[in-house]
Structure 1
Amino acid sequence: MSPRTIVVVGGTSGIGLELARDIVAHGDSVIITGRDAARTAEIAASIGERATGVALDISEPAGIAASLAGIGRIDGLVLAAIERDANTIRDYDIDRATRLTVLKLVGYPAVVHALLDRMENSADTGIVLFGGRAKDMPYPGSTTVSTINGGVEGLTVTLALELAPIRVNALHPGIIGDSPFWAGKPAAVLDGYRSRTPSGELATMADIVDATQFLLRNRGITGTSTYVDRGSRLT
């Protein structure tokens, strides 16, 4: 297969950055996005010459098309931009809830809309949307996160139908033990989550990267939600 160009929205840190590095390591090119132009360009340069950076804030969807105007033909798109949130109903913060809802449920489809004319109308083209296991494994304060990740699943199936033969799939990570967010948690906290998986181990960023690459490339999969959580839903 000839070299491909993949856009990773939210590719300046965490899983998005690990994915961008893996894309380049496999001989493809990557375009990463982040809110700060200078930082995004610096991180792209650190990945290598096949990486470029674009400043983009998908929580402000009115500016998405203009921000992405300079991107040429692409072969795949990963929407990995997320924000952490703890927002209970009893102490409901409307501004925070609105920002996070807009980021995924308006920002994600707005990016697809803006880049659609640069994607080949083929099953070789893959789009991956990041949700999360909070959609069906809620926790105190996950009101907004659980709701929007459920919305990502709905968005996935409607886009898969509307954009066919382009493939659209969702990836829902569980607790990622070596991610920047989770790696620094107290050992007792991580051990508690490990005890809920059949193997006694947590998913890793490498697991997420591998699953994302699979969904980008496999022509037989569309309209699906893939769970990468070491089977925590089974216990």
Structure 2
Amino acid sequence: MSGRTILVAGGSSGIGLELAKDLVAGGDRVIVTSRSRETADEVAAGLGANATGVALDVSEPEGIADQLRDVPALDGVVMAAIERDANTIRDYDIARARRLITLKLIGYTETVHTLLDRLTSSVETGIVLFGGRAKDAPYPGSTTVSTINGGVDGLMNTLAHELAPIRVNSLHPGIIGDSPFWAGKPDGVLAGYESRTPGGSLATMADVVDAVRFLLFNRGVSAHSLNVDRGWRIT
């Protein structure tokens, strides 16, 4: 048993859930969040006695402090809560853009701000912020996503500077072939991406989990932006 307690915002599904499972299996205590308290509790129950569920909506930052009021002392925070949005300039939707910008850039920041009194000021304490490769690999409709994922690195840098010795890092997954979003694509969609990846295979959720653990627990790493895409952009 490590004795560590880690909060995983967005830990009720997808990569966040895979991370929560891995942390619990390694002996850590995990707090998983979902916008729905029912979902958070259900997922935590499935993870076992070392998991707790908390309702948290990072897209509504004014409510974050109240939602996290009962969270105990923490050894780490992983901000994996995300939403996807295709929002082109020609058909720009301000409301959708505002929601996504608020979720990551303000919601992530307010969550860390709220939890500071429960984070030990130590190099042992780690914070990981999820961005995405759209920050420098744009696609049609990715303007908001690309902008905020670039902003995650700016947020990482200022938090790493202000909160030291607490370590703050960012992680940017590319196309994760076995994630719920990508695995559900029609046959043939992933083949084109695989053919452009050195080695001919896409990164997996296990790859992302390993990367999060490295950023979260390695005491020598802070203010580092890590891509997980198996080198897709070099081909």
**What TM-score, normalized by structure 1, do the two folds share?**
0.99
Deviation readout 1:105-157 (Å, 9 max, x if unpaired): 00001000000110110000000000000000000000100000000011001
Aligned to 1:173: 173
Question: For residues 13 and 202 of structure 2, what CA distance do their matches in structure 1 show?
Answer: 20
- For the pair 1:64 / 2:64, whether they are aligned, the reply is yes
Q: How does 1:63-82 map to 2 (within 5 A)?
A: 63-82=63-82
Q: Secondary structure at the match of 2:30?
A: strand
Deviation readout 1:156-178 (Å, 9 max, x if unpaired): 01110110000000000000000
Q: How does 1:56-205 map to 2 (within 5 A)?
A: 56-205=56-205
**What TM-score, normalized by structure 2, do the two folds share?**
0.99
Deviation readout 1:64-100 (Å, 9 max, x if unpaired): 0110010110000000000010000000000000000
Deviation readout 1:199-219 (Å, 9 max, x if unpaired): 110000000001101111000
Deviation readout 1:169-208 (Å, 9 max, x if unpaired): 0000000000000001123210111111111100000000
Contact 2:6 2:77 survives alignment (8 Å): yes
Question: For residues 95 and 82 of structure 1, what CA distance do their matches in structure 2 show?
Answer: 16
**Cα deviation, residue 2, structure 1:** 3.5
Question: For residues 173 and 184 of structure 2, what CA distance do their matches in structure 1 show?
Answer: 18
- The CA RMSD over aligned residues, in Å, is 0.8
Deviation readout 1:38-67 (Å, 9 max, x if unpaired): 111011100111000000100000000110
Question: For residues 78 and 66 of structure 1, what CA distance do their matches in structure 2 show?
Answer: 19
Question: For residues 164 and 196 of structure 2, what CA distance do their matches in structure 1 show?
Answer: 37
User: Structure 1 regions of 5+ residues with no counterpart?
Assistant: none
Aligned to 2:223: 223
Question: For residues 91 and 84 of structure 1, what CA distance do their matches in structure 2 show?
Answer: 16
Letter of the 1:54 partner, please give it: V
Which contiguous aligned blocks of 4+ residues in structure 1 show a shift greater than 6 angstroms?
none
Letter of the 1:84 partner, please give it: R
Contact 2:2 2:27 survives alignment (8 Å): no
Question: For residues 206 and 129 of structure 1, what CA distance do their matches in structure 2 show?
Answer: 17
Letter of the 1:4 partner, please give it: R
Q: Secondary structure at the match of 1:181?
A: helix
User: Structure 2 regions of 5+ residues with no counterpart?
Assistant: none
Question: For residues 94 and 177 of structure 1, what CA distance do their matches in structure 2 show?
Answer: 30
Q: Secondary structure at the match of 1:187?
A: coil
Deviation readout 1:20-43 (Å, 9 max, x if unpaired): 000000001000010001111011
Letter of the 1:140 partner, please give it: P
Q: Secondary structure at the match of 1:139?
A: coil
Q: Secondary structure at the match of 1:106?
A: helix
Aligned to 2:38: 38
Question: For residues 136 and 39 of structure 2, what CA distance do their matches in structure 1 show?
Answer: 34
